[in-house]
Amino acid sequence: MKAEAFAQVPNLMTGDVNLTDAEYRVYAILLGHDYGKKTVSWPSQVTIAAIWGKGTAAVGNAVRGLEDKGYVRIVRVSRNSTNRYYLVPQTQVETAAALANLTDRIQSRDLVKRALAVEAAKASA
């Protein structure tokens, strides 16, 4: 990556409190390797580690975190080839985050209903 190159990180990521600093940094490195307007990047974990100044284990953890949070889809090509990192469009990440938030709210509401039902059953017994 050239010294004067830069990566424009989506606004959604700057406000995502669930995103670690390591994940943010690795995503920025992947963006710097997306070769124009393509949404795929394929630097090796060794290359990412060299740019970041951390070990490959830290890179692997950050990449898995990005995948778990929906920012990146990883395609493992083969044992002797680098992974392909597909950068998920911000709108898809926002939709997934909104659905996850809705699911959490529904589950929380259901837990409160169950707790109230248990308390009501104890009170009537």
Domain boundaries, the chain: 1-88, 89-125
The most confident of 22-26, 30-34, 86-90, 118-122, by mean pLDDT:
22-26
Do residues 92 and 70 lie in contact, with contact meaning Cβ atoms separated by under 8 Å? Answer: yes
Structure tokens at 58: 């830290």
The answer on pLDDT for 103 being more than 80 is no
Name the pairing type of β-strands 40-41 and 72-75. unpaired
The answer on pLDDT for 3 being more than 60 is no
Please state the pTM of the whole predicted model.
Answer: 0.65
The fold of 1-88 is Arc Repressor Mutant, subunit A (1.10.10)
Q: What is the pLDDT of residues 13-67, one digit of tens each?
A: 777 888 899 999 999 888 887 666 667 888 888 999 999 999 999 999 999 999 9
Element of type H or E holding 121: helix 90-124
Residue 117: what pLDDT?
80
Query: Which residues, including other chains, have CB under 8 Å from residue 23's CB and lie 6 or more apart?
Result: 62, 65, 66, 69, 71
